[in-house]
Amino acid sequence: MRGALVIAVVFSSTAVAVGVSQYAFGLFIAPLEESFGWTRTEISASLSFAAVGGLSAPLLGRAMDRFGARPILVLSLVVFGLSFCLRPLMTELWHWYALSFMQFVTFSGLTVLPTGRLVAAWFPHVRGRMTGIAATGNNVGGLVMPVFIAALLVAMPWSEACVVIGIASFAVAGAAVLVIREAPPAAPAQARGPGAAGERAARAAPALPDRNLRETVRTRTFYAVLAAITLGTFTYSAILPHVLVHLVNKGMANASALTALGTLATAGICGKLLFGWMSERFGARRMMMSNLIGQAAFAALLAGAGHTGMLAVAAPLFGLFMGGFGALYILVVQESFGLRHYGSVMGLVNLGTAVSFGLGPLIAGASYDVTGGYGAAFLVVCGLFVAGAVSLTFARPRIRETDTAPQRPSPAGT
């Protein structure tokens, strides 16, 4: 029962963070424009602070390895909630930017870092499918949070709606305090994280020089995985935000395009469950290679299809593979490096998202300015997906039984 509650908390954290920050962002543009007179470009520029989440991830990951997932998750939820509760006090544009920085700085602590560590600790034998379930918080948040926030904005001013979002974040933080434990009580002491027993187990653990953090980041496998994940996350910055406009430009009616976007999001849920389960049978690395090739194929179909019927078919198929990437992202890091330094390694890998979220919108914008559409950008990203799949051929997972449990390193640890 406790394990199910742990999954529910990380699921909820991800749903709130992604649903509010990415899917529902546009709902606040018009109210802010009306209240302050800021331009849409000035308001939307705050999304650039998403890159800060990638830059801060190594610090949060290292802290999670030292102190456990619960304090990092609770801290991240509190910071996220405060960033919304303080918004009614805004009077200047720089206030909006400062609070947006605050919103994104702990983003990885709300999503991939605690999800990867806690799911693997509580469900080591079925972590593929359970990671898929937990990661569907991305998609469910994308489906639910915009509807919820739209209803709030009908019933109250935007400032009060922000406070409600903050309170929701605090509520999830409270649930995390009550529910989250580092591992089941029957798990080995080193899996339970911080505490004297965990420290003694960490000191007694056999030396694994190939799992030393400093050695890990010097391996070919680390850079292969870093390249694959960096290139794969262009799907979130260069394709997903522009799918709706692309479908309309291709001749779809607005209502049909919205329906297609909904099927894409729903297929994303199925993709996480499917690829999570398949990773247990065939390995996360192989499935991510297949996933990136699939994303490339169906993104190319989206780019080149000239018939609205073909677009309606391509959208959910692309969504299936795009959704699967969200689960494989976590699983391939676990498979390649184990869980001993999962937070630190995942934090370093997340640095790559600063590149994808920085360059992806530029690629899409240049495509539209030069060609009048996003098809060219989609094709460029297809090439990046293929390159990411190729890079994984250089990765060699090396998991040992003693290296599968997350733990807090000893004070002298690396």
pLDDT (tens digit, 9 = 90+) per residue, 227-245? Answer: 999 999 999 888 887 887 8
Task: State both tokens at 217.
Answer: 């980041």
In a domain, 114, yes or no: yes
Structural domain that includes position 373: 209-397
pLDDT (tens digit, 9 = 90+) per residue, 25-37? Answer: 778 888 998 999 9
Whether 332 and 392 map to the same domain: the answer is: yes
In a domain, 321, yes or no: yes
Rg (CA), the chain: 21
Distance CA(63)–CA(69), nearest Å, equals: 9
What percentage of residues in the chain have a pLDDT greater than 90?
43
pLDDT for residue 201 is more than 70? no
pLDDT for residue 84 is more than 90? yes
In a domain, 194, yes or no: no
Task: State both tokens at 11.
Answer: 């699921």
* Confidence (pLDDT) at 320: 95
Whether 280 and 175 map to the same domain: the answer is: no
Residue appearing with tokens 């999954």: 7
Whether 45 and 138 map to the same domain: the answer is: yes
Distance CA(58)–CA(225), nearest Å, equals: 16
Whether 79 and 166 map to the same domain: the answer is: yes
DSSP conformation class of 184: -
In a domain, 407, yes or no: no
In a domain, 201, yes or no: no
How much is the average pLDDT of 79-87? 96
* Confidence (pLDDT) at 125: 85
Whether 114 and 175 map to the same domain: the answer is: yes
Other beta carbons within 10 angstroms of residue 243's beta carbon come to: 22
pLDDT (tens digit, 9 = 90+) per residue, 356-412? Answer: 888 888 888 888 888 888 899 999 999 999 999 999 998 875 544 444 445 444 433
Whether 110 and 24 map to the same domain: the answer is: yes
CATH of the domain at 97: 1.20.1250.20
Whether 12 and 110 map to the same domain: the answer is: yes
pLDDT (tens digit, 9 = 90+) per residue, 125-145? Answer: 888 889 999 988 888 887 888
Distance CA(3)–CA(5), nearest Å, equals: 5
* Confidence (pLDDT) at 380: 95
Q: Under a CB-based contact definition with an 8 Å cutoff, are residues 183 and 193 in contact? A: yes
Task: State how many domains the chain has.
Answer: 2
pLDDT for residue 208 is more than 50? no
pLDDT for residue 209 is more than 60? no
- Please provide the DSSP assignment of 15-66 as one string: HHHHIIIIISGGGGHHHHHHHH---HHHHHGGGGGHHHHHHHHHHHHHHHHH
Whether 175 and 289 map to the same domain: the answer is: no
How much is the average pLDDT of 278-290? 93
In a domain, 408, yes or no: no
Whether 275 and 383 map to the same domain: the answer is: yes
* Confidence (pLDDT) at 403: 46
pLDDT for residue 289 is more than 60? yes
Residue appearing with tokens 């908390």: 9
pLDDT for residue 204 is more than 50? no
Q: What are phi and psi of 24, to 5 degrees?
A: -100, 5
Whether 77 and 146 map to the same domain: the answer is: yes
In a domain, 403, yes or no: no
pLDDT for residue 290 is more than 90? yes
Whether 155 and 285 map to the same domain: the answer is: no
- Please provide the DSSP assignment of 299-316 as one string: HHHHHH--SHHHHHHHHH
* Confidence (pLDDT) at 357: 82
Query: In the structure, what pLDDT confidence band is assigned to residue 337 with cuts at 50, 70 and 90?
Result: confident
pLDDT for residue 342 is more than 90? no
* Confidence (pLDDT) at 401: 40
pLDDT (tens digit, 9 = 90+) per residue, 256-272? Answer: 887 888 888 889 999 99
Amino acid present at 202? A
In a domain, 296, yes or no: yes
Lowest pLDDT segment from 2-6, 75-79, 156-160, 223-227 = 2-6
* Confidence (pLDDT) at 398: 57
* Confidence (pLDDT) at 212: 66
* Confidence (pLDDT) at 2: 83
* Confidence (pLDDT) at 265: 84
37 contact partners, CB below 8 Å, separation of at least 6: none
Whether 71 and 122 map to the same domain: the answer is: yes
Query: In the structure, what pLDDT confidence band is assigned to residue 55 with cuts at 50, 70 and 90?
Result: confident
What's the whole-number average pLDDT of the chain?
84
How much is the average pLDDT of 57-83? 93
Q: Under a CB-based contact definition with an 8 Å cutoff, are residues 378 and 246 in contact? A: yes
Query: In the structure, what pLDDT confidence band is assigned to residue 21 with cuts at 50, 70 and 90?
Result: confident
* Confidence (pLDDT) at 186: 66
17-33 in b/e form (b: 16+ CB < 10 A) is bbbbbbbbbebbeebbe
Lowest pLDDT segment from 14-18, 78-82, 108-112, 182-186 = 182-186
pLDDT for residue 196 is more than 70? no
